Amino acid sequence: MKEEIELDFGRLITAMVTPFNEQGEIHWEETARLIDYLIADQKSEALVVSGTTGESPTLSDSEKVQLFEFAVKHAAGRCKIIAGTGSNNTAHSIHLTKEAERVGVDGVLLVVPYYNKPSQEGMFKHFEAIASSTRLPVMLYNVPGRTAASLSTATTLRLAQIPNIVATKECAPLEQVTLVAAGAPDHFKVYSGDDASGLPAITVGAYGIVSVASHIVGAEMKQMIDAFVGGDTHKATQLHQQLFPVFKGLFECPQPLPNPVAVKYALTLRGLNVGSVRLPLIAPTDEEQGFIRALLNE
């Protein structure tokens, strides 16, 4: 059996958007600029590359591997790079994970298989097979709102016994976050995948947040997390309350808007030319753009 892997991805991880140019291709110069901005200005300690926020469903395998390699080289050790290599096809996930390992990423993010709705045992075997194919640290990603299947607390705790499965990103109720954090081995870390419940999740045992809003308010989120960890719960609560409209507004502007439509537009307002989204996602309407502008101005 492999030895447990001790690797700290940090407490604030940004699920990074993928910049596109006007032709809808990856904008490499802007990708470099975005990485610098997220590390230096927004205090990201790790970046998820080609996750849902990075529009992984519409990226080719070639584009994903190029992004992994580019991010590793450009970050140059300033933050950890976590590659989104999960899918609903175990063999394909293994292939992409091996490619990510080859180009030097620090870890992989594996989403619960979507659409085909496997059983708990099927999900266990899926993640077990991918983890056994790599030496990389693995972060699970439980997001039932997108996958139509949810990794149970019991299955998560079984997977946490596999030495290189070191973390989970949970978009699940706080009850599950609490139970996983309480029952997992010491090396296993729980992350909130929902900005709005990030601080509440940390109060019940989560280690950090995998965030979308950290593209815009990452420095403030880092202050919030550091305040709580340092014992200043009052300051942490105040910051959470101040940031809450941004947490909610980037997904409900003013009606539900698929990620990363809002945050990409918000970044353009901040002077980052990350471009629009690929179909079947579409750019925000004039009304939605006005809402996002007002949100950032506030």
Which residues form the catalytic set?
141, 169
Measured from the Cβ of residue 131, the count of other Cβ atoms closer than 10 Å reads: 24
Up-side HSE of residue 211: CA atoms within 13 Å toward CB? Answer: 36
Burial of 26 (0-12, 13-18, 19+ CB in 10 A): middle
Please give the Cα distance from 46 to 57 (Å, whole number): 21
The answer to whether 87 and 56 have CB atoms below 8 angstroms apart is: no
Measured from the Cβ of residue 257, the count of other Cβ atoms closer than 10 Å reads: 21
In angstroms, the Cα distances linking 21 to 24, 52, 72, 272, 292 are: 5, 19, 21, 12, 21
Return the bridge partners of 107, or none.
82
The answer to whether 47 and 13 have CB atoms below 8 angstroms apart is: yes
Burial of 40 (0-12, 13-18, 19+ CB in 10 A): exposed
The answer to whether 165 and 151 have CB atoms below 8 angstroms apart is: no
Return the bridge partners of 15, or none.
48
